[in-house]
Structure 1
């Protein structure tokens, strides 16, 4: 089985995004795992036994910005990805109130 971690960085502030709610779902919407980013903006062990197939990570970005008094355009960010091999997958999110980007990290 594969493992999964994530990291959220607030590019508008130039620092990690601590306290972002993160959930991991199977392609059919079944909740597989959930967590909250730590002081470094990470959820280091979101999944330790992720099966092959399509999955989604859902980031609670709107609530996170709202808690900080910042108006944001996206109420959430959903990243769909495919797991194939038994290896570690890392999905970072670079975030600001009006945009985001992601990539497969290491």
Structure 2
């Protein structure tokens, strides 16, 4: 297992206080938890993945997500057992849409 951490600053879209879980590792290959957290406008992302050595790809996917969804005061936890970048992006978008009730 590898743990990756990313943080993006100056988000403009605050979240409501209730956490959301999208996807379940047991029934697929990815779980995303997104929740509000006091991070001075930042967005902190922690990824636990079984696919070791893909840090640059994860970083690109997270940067792309943050460009679409500049979340403020958000904590995102991802548990991965081999999801493709497209599935990761889809689950992140679903979580953000669920939290905010809107598209990017």
TM-score, normalising length from structure 1?
A: 0.32
TM-score, normalising length from structure 2?
A: 0.33
**Structure with a larger share of its residues in helix:** 2
**Structure with a larger share of its residues in strand:** 1
- Find the structure with the greater CA-based Rg: 1
